[in-house]
Amino acid sequence: KRLVVLVSGSGTNLQALLDEIAAVGAEAYGAEIVAVGADREHIEGLARAERAGLPTFVRKVKDYDSRDEWDAALAETVSAHEPDLVVSAGFMKIVGKEFLSRFGGRFVNTHPALLPSFPGAHGVRDALAYGAKVTGCTVHFVDDGVDTGPIIAQGVVEVRDEDDESALHERIKEIERRLLVEVVGRIARSGYRIEGRKVVIQ
């Protein structure tokens, strides 16, 4: 299976996928990353892709006259790589209807909270501020909402009294990276069905 991965930041989730595929081989893993895209330049996620010798692309909202034109351009660029699965690994933009019409049902996102709790761009901070005792991460299919698509897998992380946002986020990311690697490999190797809100992996 062909993967395109979208990033906006440090790219440690991307790195976890790259490391796993390098360790076991694309054949055994069931997928290979064919390109990495971002919504901004000069991020470690792109540097990680370049170090792995992968094609990269950047599509910035401000370079387009409208959000829809950005969405269409992103969809077109991703399509050119003929992905079977698109993975948002810390991609911090909400895609639009053109992107979803092409990739809905095969676009996976990872979120650093236990959805439906704490969706959006500050899930770690919100869980901490709320006083949650456990939080975690969620791998889900992207639908037309914000972090609202069918859940594939979740991992639980305890919140510690001394946690600040970055300490808690780092601990979540340790679980999140393993969950993403496991889930992407499973759905690449064995296929899946989405029945309403339920995801069934064969």
- Which amino acid would we find at residue 89? A
**β-pairing, 151-158 with 85-88?**
unpaired
* 45 belongs to an annotated ligand binding site: no
111 is catalytic: yes
Residues that bind ligand GRF (CB under 6 A): 7, 9-14, 45, 89-90, 110-112, 173, 176
CB of 166 to ligand GRF, least distance (A): 11
Distance, in Å, from the CA atom of 89 to the CA atom of 74, rounded to the nearest integer, reads: 16
Residues 6 or more apart whose CB falls under 8 angstroms from that of 138 comprise 110, 111, 113, 114, 115, 147, 151, 153, 154
Nearer to ligand GRF, 8 or 103 (CB): 8
* 97 belongs to an annotated ligand binding site: no
Residue listed under structure tokens 């340790």? 174
Nearer to ligand GRF, 80 or 134 (CB): 134
Nearer to ligand GRF, 10 or 56 (CB): 10
Helix intervals (H) in 30-122? 44-51, 67-80, 97-103
Q: Which two tokens stand for residue 185?
A: 């490999």
**Residue 116 and residue 125 in contact, taking contact as beta carbons nearer than 8 Å:** no
CB of 15 to ligand GRF, least distance (A): 8
* 187 belongs to an annotated ligand binding site: no
- Please say whether the dihedral angle defined by the alpha carbons of residues 92, 97, 100 and 102, taken in this order, is positive or negative: negative
Nearer to ligand GRF, 40 or 69 (CB): 40
3-state secondary structure of 9: coil
CB of 145 to ligand GRF, least distance (A): 16
Residue listed under structure tokens 């993403």? 180
Annotated catalytic residue: which of 42, 111, 122, 169? 111
CB of 20 to ligand GRF, least distance (A): 14
* 11 belongs to an annotated ligand binding site: yes
State the binding site. 11-13, 67, 92-95, 109
State the binding site for (6R)-10-formyltetrahydrofolate. 67, 92-95, 109
Catalytic residues: 111
